[in-house]
Amino acid sequence: MALLVILTFLSAFLLFQIELIIAKLFLPNYGGSFLVWGACIVFFQAVLLAGYIFAHTFLQRLGAWRYLRLHLWLLLAPLLFFPLRDVHLSFARPALPLVFDIFARLTVTIGPVFFTLSTMSLVTQSWLAASFLKGRLNPYRLYAVSNLGSFMALLTYPFFFELFLTDTQQLQIWRILYLVLAFVSILAFRVVKIDHSRLQQKTAVEAQPVALDKILRWLGLGAAGVVMFLSVTNMVTYEVAPVPLLWVLPLGIYLMAFVLNFKQNPWCPSWLIRWIGPIIGLQTMLYFLAQRHWLPVVLMIILLSLLLWCTCMYIQHQLVLAKPTAERMTFFYVMISLGGFLGGMLTTWIIPVISDTLTEYLVGLFLLAFLLPPRQKPVFWPSALWFSTATLAFFVWPYFVRGYHLWSFALLVAAVCFSFAGMARDNRWMAVFFAGIIMTTPFLESLWQDVHFIVKKRNYYGIYEVYDSKHNLRVLLHGTTLHGLEFVAKDKRCIPLGYYSPISPIGSLLIDDVFRARRVGVVGLGTGTLSMYAKPSCPIDYYELDGDVKTIASRDFWYLAEAPGKVKIILGDARLSLQKAADRTYDLLVIDAFSVDAIPTHLINKDVLVEYRRKLTGRGAVVFHITNRYLNLEPVLARIADVSGAYVAYKDVGDQGYNMRSIWCILTWDDNRFLKLITREGWQPLEIDPKHEVRAWSDHYSTILPVINMNEMAVSLKSFKPFTL
């Protein structure tokens, strides 16, 4: 039994560890998009489904004993590819849409070994069920072990593997563990014997087909869990950063729910089952509250995680109640996996294309509502009237409350819990309710945000919103981050605003022309505000990954059209595009490619700095925009400058009129101009702080754990007064 437990745990650990390693390696190639992880998850689910189908089919046809022989050869087959061969990745522009390109690259890199590992859980459980061991009566316990192994892979990755090891070292350790897995498999094959007499018995259960309604329930529950954890992942990583530290939180909750419900003595709180209606209601409320941004991001993440845990526990509990006998176990897993794959495709492939909002969260709640067990007693119309009135109060509430208020908030919570507790009595009623919400989400979100959008567009890189504010300003938001603003009035359109005003660090640097710039390169277009600093003698080249940003900046803003000098926009990943530019082209390179507060680490590390320097003239400099609510990037740049032999300084200018507080860092190898920055321009030298010393980021190493801005997050929590009257 111990050998099967080790095999199950180790295979699951390796399976999820390689997911995180490869997804992080892929992230730079797609501009740090928050949907890279979701696209990778869909691939992993697809291969997991293929592995389950393969194992289920051949276990049924060959039996456990003969299949185990085949499985040993299957374990050795990937050694012809990865892990013995290296994973070669390049910053090549995707030839296909993001999700399809990720699928193609993953297939030719880790596809074979991932397929092999995906079969292990079914193999060990079937092996146990066909053995002489005492645990054969409940092989589902190994499913809990498998999910525990997956959970431990998630937990250890950001706090150990990513923190202390390069990706090369991570892959090397992974290779060694895979060889250990193969050795333990051979050992178990010789030690754990099969009960052939039991295999020859054909039970009546095997001959009976599974009822269609049960199959559909397995599919639905499998899809609902995946949609919920992926939608929470999208919300969290879109707001903060698409990094493994935040990837693992929702997925870890999802897996731990499996562990608790499928262990030998399943556990799920009875109150959770009883109050699932109000829990769904609070999740709906939280989705719309996110539009107002009243709650600190840390509190939002905590609430989203707690409610996700409740939801996943309920879903896995329902799966435990619906699980079949051991004879149908493999088919049960195939259906769960198929449901998860379909849910992942819906969340990552379909909804981002057809919806301009993060509607997948509501879609997950719709699936959950639809799958609630039907109640025997129908809801009568007087009760329905009360529930509908309470629900209506939830949506009209923003008309009457323009700010956070304790008592109105408490009444809202009470109304939501009351109405959803009533609707949970009839799953059909709640499903229809969510269908209506999903169809009217754009209207409801504009109601809650109290804004008329000129443009609202979602693509694989985020959600863009353009609107005119009450101060006669046109605003571009990317998620919750302001990416640019401009006066609507014609006589003021040429005034650069926000992070790029004349008194901002970058604005004053371009005006004073310390570096005598004859050409400027800018990574990240935004609204094109820096175009106002172009001159006939100093053109500006923009490097922009997302074609939709170019469309918005050209069509809905006027900076590009009003630029006093020549402006050129080069589409594609900046790193690849810059490689095509001639060396010693730019006097200044401005790196401002941070979508929301996410950090594309491939654009801010010591390896890419070498490439930047080749494109600079002898007197040139690289300027990084590092304004960020959640991450403190000064130590990162100080360390990068130190290992690269560069001088580094920073400048922080606060809010003044239409200038928004912004922090910029500059790296240069010209000591004379660096001295001018310090003595005349107000820049401050940036030195390595021994208390916050970090390891230099590179193409093979980066982690946000040491640079999380805990002070800023603490301030946001302290400033939130939940009991203010």
Rounded mean pLDDT of 419-438?
80
Rounded mean pLDDT of 73-94?
72
Query: Backbone phi, then psi, for 684, in 5-degree steps?
Result: -110, 135
pLDDT of residue 725: 43
Instruction: At 108, list the tokens.
Output: 């030719």
On the CB side of 690, how many CA atoms lie within 13 Å of its CA? 0
- Which CATH superfamily, name and number, covers 1-198? MFS general substrate transporter like domains (1.20.1250.20)
Q: How far apart are CA 376 and CA 250, in angstroms?
A: 34
Say whether pLDDT at 330 is over 50.
yes
All structural domains of the chain with their residue ranges:
1-198, 491-718
User: What are all long-range contacts of 555-560, with beta carbons under 8 Å and residues at least 24 apart?
Assistant: 556/454, 556/455, 556/466, 556/474, 556/476, 557/474, 557/476, 557/484, 557/486, 557/527, 557/528, 558/486, 558/493, 559/486, 559/493, 559/494, 559/496, 559/527, 559/528, 559/529, 559/531, 559/532, 560/528, 560/531
Q: When comparing pLDDT for 668 and 24, which is higher?
A: 668
Q: How far apart are CA 266 and CA 141, in angstroms?
A: 10
pLDDT of residue 314: 95
Q: How far apart are CA 32 and CA 34, in angstroms?
A: 6
Q: How far apart are CA 62 and CA 72, in angstroms?
A: 14
Asked if 90 and 28 touch (Cβ cutoff 8 Å), the reply is no
Say whether pLDDT at 451 is over 80.
no
Q: How far apart are CA 500 and CA 528, in angstroms?
A: 10
Nearest to 596 by CA among 476, 718, 444: 476
Asked if 517 and 510 touch (Cβ cutoff 8 Å), the reply is yes
On the CB side of 216, how many CA atoms lie within 13 Å of its CA? 6
- The second-level CATH assignment, the architecture, of 491-718 is 3-Layer(aba) Sandwich (3.40)
Q: When comparing pLDDT for 150 and 384, which is higher?
A: 150
Lowest mean pLDDT among 3-17, 96-110, 235-249, 261-275: 235-249
Beta bridge partners of 321: none
Instruction: At 696, list the tokens.
Output: 């230099």
Residue type for position 187: L
pLDDT of residue 241: 58
Lowest mean pLDDT among 29-33, 257-261, 571-575: 29-33
Q: What is the pLDDT of residues 350-373, one digit of tens each?
A: 888 888 888 899 999 999 988 888
Whose structure tokens read 């997956």? 150
pLDDT of residue 565: 94
pLDDT of residue 459: 82
Rounded mean pLDDT of 673-691?
90
Say whether pLDDT at 348 is over 50.
yes
| 3-class secondary-structure state, position 699 | coil
Query: Backbone phi, then psi, for 399, in 5-degree steps?
Result: -65, -30
Lowest mean pLDDT among 55-69, 110-124, 304-318, 506-520: 55-69
Rounded mean pLDDT of 7-13?
93
Positive or negative torsion for Cα 75, 78, 80, 83? negative
pLDDT of residue 662: 92
Q: Where are the alpha helices (DSSP H) in 323-372?
A: 329-345, 351-354, 360-370
What is the band of 609 on the pLDDT scale with cuts at 50, 70, 90? very high
Say whether pLDDT at 114 is over 60.
yes
Asked if 239 and 480 touch (Cβ cutoff 8 Å), the reply is yes
Instruction: At 695, list the tokens.
Output: 């390891």
Positive or negative torsion for Cα 235, 236, 241, 245? negative
Q: How far apart are CA 557 and CA 542, in angstroms?
A: 16
Say whether pLDDT at 61 is over 50.
yes
Rounded mean pLDDT of 223-243?
81
Query: Backbone phi, then psi, for 478, in 5-degree steps?
Result: -120, 100
pLDDT of residue 89: 63
Q: What is the pLDDT of residues 89-107, one digit of tens each?
A: 665 556 667 778 888 888 8
| 3-class secondary-structure state, position 543 | strand
Q: When comparing pLDDT for 532 and 430, which is higher?
A: 532
Asked if 138 and 262 touch (Cβ cutoff 8 Å), the reply is no
User: What are all long-range contacts of 472-475, with beta carbons under 8 Å and residues at least 24 apart?
Assistant: 473/497, 474/556, 474/557
pLDDT of residue 154: 86
Q: How far apart are CA 78 and CA 383, in angstroms?
A: 61
Rounded mean pLDDT of 529-552?
94
Q: What is the mean pLDDT of the chain?
A: 84
Q: How far apart are CA 684 and CA 666, in angstroms?
A: 10
478: CB partners within 8 A, 6+ apart = 462, 463, 464, 595, 596
Residue type for position 566: K
pLDDT of residue 204: 43
Q: What is the pLDDT of residues 145-194, one digit of tens each?
A: 998 998 899 889 988 999 999 988 999 999 999 999 999 998 988 888 77
Q: What is the DSSP letter of 589?
A: E
Say whether pLDDT at 198 is over 80.
no
Rounded mean pLDDT of 520-547?
94
pLDDT of residue 478: 82
Beta bridge partners of 584: none
Rounded mean pLDDT of 483-492?
92
Helix (H) or strand (E) holding 478: strand 473-478
Rounded mean pLDDT of 259-283?
90
pLDDT of residue 562: 93
Q: Above pLDDT 90, what percent of the chain? A: 39
What is the band of 418 on the pLDDT scale with cuts at 50, 70, 90? confident
| 3-class secondary-structure state, position 193 | coil
pLDDT of residue 109: 82
Helix (H) or strand (E) holding 196: helix 196-199
Q: What is the pLDDT of residues 203-228, one digit of tens each?
A: 444 546 788 889 999 999 999 999 99
What is the total residue count of the chain? Answer: 725
Say whether pLDDT at 636 is over 60.
yes
What is the band of 711 on the pLDDT scale with cuts at 50, 70, 90? confident
Q: How far apart are CA 342 and CA 224, in angstroms?
A: 10
pLDDT of residue 219: 94
Q: What is the pLDDT of residues 371-381, one digit of tens each?
A: 888 765 555 55
What is the band of 548 on the pLDDT scale with cuts at 50, 70, 90? very high
Q: When comparing pLDDT for 286 and 593, which is higher?
A: 286
Say whether pLDDT at 202 is over 50.
no
Q: Residue 83, class by beta-carbon neighbours within 10 Å (0-12 exposed, 13-18 middle, 19+ buried)? A: buried
